[in-house]
């Protein structure tokens, strides 16, 4: 059974989804892959995990790095989980590239190289926006590339963290 609750974010309505204990999804309403991220049969309900997530988001959107992380549960392939784990290690106010993440995975696996495009696919399917900070990943040479919630939201999230980008970067 899955539960959901809406969060009114400054960048648009977000949907929090939980298995009853942990946060399983946090997405902007109608973002790319929205249908696969929010279970159709989820029930609207208030839960402690939604209170924790809303508190985290309130702090984040006030321009402060939260000092806790709500209980999350990431479901996906081992490769995607590996990428999402790296995303969790990107410090607030910093960015990295898909290529750098690919190099980290290749090194960890003891292989010569890993596809930055494969990393991009995993980043794009991150089920927990903002908390798992996929917005902190940029293309080669710092170019802005896709964000499931839309590039405008990515720019605003980076600005909130003190990273100045414009849509032409």
Catalytic residue set: 134
Residue 112's SS3 state is coil
Picking from 54, 33, 123, the residue whose alpha carbon sits closest to that of residue 87 is 123
Residue 47's SS3 state is coil
Q: Give the span between the Cα atoms of 60 and 66, in whole angstroms.
A: 6
∠ CA 68-73-77, rounded to 5°: 130
């Amino acid at each position: 059974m899955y539960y959901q609750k809406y969060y009114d974010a400054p960048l648009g309505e977000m949907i929090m989804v939980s298995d009853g204990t942990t946060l399983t999804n946090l997405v902007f309403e109608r973002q790319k892959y929205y249908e696969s991220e929010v279970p159709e049969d989820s029930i609207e309900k208030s839960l402690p995990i939604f209170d924790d997530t809303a508190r985290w988001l309130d702090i984040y959107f006030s321009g402060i790095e939260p000092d806790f992380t709500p209980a999350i549960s990431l479901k996906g392939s081992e490769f995607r989980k590996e990428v999402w784990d790296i995303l969790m290690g990107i410090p607030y106010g910093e960015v990295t590239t898909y290529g750098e993440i690919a190099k980290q995975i290749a090194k960890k696996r003891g292989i010569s190289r890993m596809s930055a495009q494969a990393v991009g696919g995993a980043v794009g399917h991150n089920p927990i926006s903002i908390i798992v900070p996929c917005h902190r990943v940029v293309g080669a040479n710092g170019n802005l590339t896709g964000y499931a919630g839309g590039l405008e939201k990515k720019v605003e999230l980076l600005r909130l963290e003190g990273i100045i980008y414009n849509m032409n970067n």
